[in-house]
Structure 1
Amino acid sequence: MSTNKLYHITLSEPAFRTRHVMGSSYGWLITADERSNLILVNPVTRAQIAMPPPETMNNVRLRYTEDGVLDGYDVLYMDLFSRDFDTEMEPYHLTLEEARFYLYARVVLSCDPSHGNCTVLVVQLPKDQLSYTRVGDTKWTWIDANPNCWAYQHILYNNNDGLFYGVRGMGEVDSIDLNEPSAEVKVILKPIISYQAHSRYIVQAPWGDFFQIWRHDKYNKENGITDRVADKFYVYKIDFVKQKLVETNNIQDHAIFIGYNSSFMLPVKDFSTLIPNSIYHTDDLLDYIFCQRSSLRQAVVFNMKDSSFIELSPPSSDSRLNWPPSVWIQPSLT
């Protein structure tokens, strides 16, 4: 968007068209193939880095047919109190391709993965729990630091302190320290409301402040099809000292970018095409993307000053443009 130009990039094998794009971080696209293997892709350098396979996650098992043919994955429920499997709950029975929509609801990196020592943190279903790995590792590690390590809606990495941050369903925020052999999770913002509502995001400003963005949706029905689209965004500055959220419509002439990507903010003065005090949002409604892959994907700009929307993705009759889902990315040449 900084140049207001359209670029076409041809990526090397393995094939990209069939992958699900569930994020971007440090200039890399975070993708999953039809077997639900997680692959990091730099669209500029065309480098690709494979993560450990899904079956190395603590709650994932390979499933085979009676003839011994690999048929899918069984995803088990994990009990954070006993730190073991919940045997009373029926596992999710997923095809090889379906698992990517459940295991990688959110993905964020700690740094450019080509630099080494990169940690990859994911929010996974069921119950929106956390697992992580590092580039070069052979398996994923489940985070069971305390019984409340679940219901995460959005995560980010803070370069200033080397910690991950996660916002949960009732507005609470946790810090997640993965620098030691055992994960350490601390509540740094207590629950704000007593119920789970809206979709929540967390973003860090260049000057250090943290913000929560709450997305409110509405339902549009046309030609017998119901679409769920963003209707309004609420932006709150997080006051960790006073343990509260302060609503604001001023982010110092910056623009917020949210969706499947790792959230970020850019100064409008450096990018003439951007609108100040606005939110750039791409569709990340996982249930609709999973169930209606050919449906139109929403990409909008929300003006915080007057609550108006600008559509960035005009309706198209070419459903191929809706898959993979669009995602914001800050290109990296490394």
Structure 2
Amino acid sequence: MVIHHPQTQVSYARVGDSKWTWLTASKDCFAYHDCFYDDDHGLFYAFRRTGAIHTIDLRGPAPLVNSIFPAFEVSLDCTKYIVLAPWGDLLQIWRYFYIGDNQEPKTKEVRVFKSHIAKQDLVDVKDLQGHALFIGYGSSFFVSVEDFPMLSPNCVFLAYDNCRCDLVKKPVINEVVVYNIENDSFVDAPSFGSWMDCPPPIWIRPSFSKHK
């Protein structure tokens, strides 16, 4: 599944398909900021810029799209991500930005929310339960600080995000920063230099962990 122009819509390809299929199962299938696949339920979860969450089921002859969480905020100074936490919560990450002196967007604040599906409400999250969170131009994921003690808990590592669409106003944020959601502050991070320009930096998830 990919999010693409125009209007950050979605296309998908199943095993054996010879081409991509544009998702048009609902009139609201646009303005997506992020998505992920849940192996346990066999569903894609797609997150709109409004804060609404769609599930997309591609297992039948035709795709099924259901809205499982309502819209909460449409903001032109925020880009949004969605991720399933290791402890089972469905989290929303809101990355607020400002326009710097060079007219480039810069991150100013990061907020993490639990999507309380039953109550259809958001719950502010300040504790990542011993994990660091990595988001950016690609899949979001958690890393245990017990397995990787060089990382700090409750920190969100944010990489370059270059998905722009003029109709949706999702910005190009050309930076790599670390934000501590526990005390709402930026954390000192090493300089990444000019190599950020091409290709855009992405996070690579480690495929191993320390076993006791």
| Deviant stretches of 4+, over 2 Å | 134-137, 285-288, 310-313, 319-322
Kindly provide the amino acid, as one letter, of the partner of residue 67 in structure 2.
Answer: V
* Residue 65 (structure 2) pairs with residue 190 (structure 1): no
8 Å contact from structure 2 (residues 92, 114) kept in 1: yes
Whole-angstrom CA distance in 2 between matches of 1:182 and 1:296: 36
SS in 1 for 2:146: helix
Q: Deviations over 1:51-85 (max 9, x none)?
A: xxxxxxxxxxxxxxxxxxxxxxxxxxxxxxxxxxx
Whole-angstrom CA distance in 1 between matches of 2:136 and 2:30: 20
* Residue 181 (structure 2) pairs with residue 308 (structure 1): no
- Structure 1 residues 152 and 286, CA, compared in 2 at 3 Å: closer, same or farther? closer
- Counterpart selection for 2:111 from 234, 240, 245: 234
Q: Which structure is richer in relative contact order (CA contacts within 8 A, separation 6 or more)?
A: 1
Q: What is the Cα deviation at residue 284 of structure 1?
A: 0.3
8 Å contact from structure 2 (residues 162, 173) kept in 1: no
Whole-angstrom CA distance in 2 between matches of 1:208 and 1:315: 33
Q: Single out whichever of 157-166 and 132-141 deviates more from structure 2.
A: 132-141
* Residue 205 (structure 2) pairs with residue 330 (structure 1): yes
Whole-angstrom CA distance in 1 between matches of 2:198 and 2:189: 16
Whole-angstrom CA distance in 2 between matches of 1:266 and 1:239: 23
Structure 2 match to 1:160: 40
Whole-angstrom CA distance in 1 between matches of 2:173 and 2:192: 7
8 Å contact from structure 2 (residues 80, 93) kept in 1: yes
Kindly provide the amino acid, as one letter, of the partner of residue 84 in structure 2.
Answer: Q
For the pair shown, the structure with the greater C-alpha radius of gyration is 1
Structure 2: unaligned runs, 5 residues or longer:
166-171
Q: What is the Cα deviation at residue 287 of structure 1?
A: 4.2
Structure 1 match to 2:125: 248
SS in 2 for 1:134: coil
Whole-angstrom CA distance in 2 between matches of 1:201 and 1:169: 9
TM-score (norm 2): 0.87
8 Å contact from structure 1 (residues 296, 322) kept in 2: no
Q: What is the Cα deviation at residue 177 of structure 1?
A: 0.5
Whole-angstrom CA distance in 2 between matches of 1:175 and 1:231: 30
SS in 2 for 1:180: coil
Structure 1 match to 2:134: 257
Q: What is the Cα deviation at residue 311 of structure 1?
A: 4.6
SS in 2 for 1:179: coil
Structure 1 match to 2:14: 134
Whole-angstrom CA distance in 1 between matches of 2:173 and 2:112: 26
8 Å contact from structure 1 (residues 199, 214) kept in 2: yes
Kindly provide the amino acid, as one letter, of the partner of residue 306 in structure 1.
Answer: N
Whole-angstrom CA distance in 2 between matches of 1:239 and 1:150: 23
Q: What is the Cα deviation at residue 299 of structure 1?
A: 1.1
Structure 2 match to 1:298: 175
TM-score (norm 1): 0.56
8 Å contact from structure 2 (residues 160, 173) kept in 1: no
8 Å contact from structure 1 (residues 215, 234) kept in 2: yes
| Higher-helix-fraction structure | 1
8 Å contact from structure 1 (residues 219, 227) kept in 2: yes
SS in 1 for 2:158: strand
Q: What is the Cα deviation at residue 315 of structure 1?
A: 6.1
8 Å contact from structure 1 (residues 211, 238) kept in 2: yes
Whole-angstrom CA distance in 2 between matches of 1:206 and 1:296: 27
- Counterpart selection for 2:100 from 197, 207, 220: 220
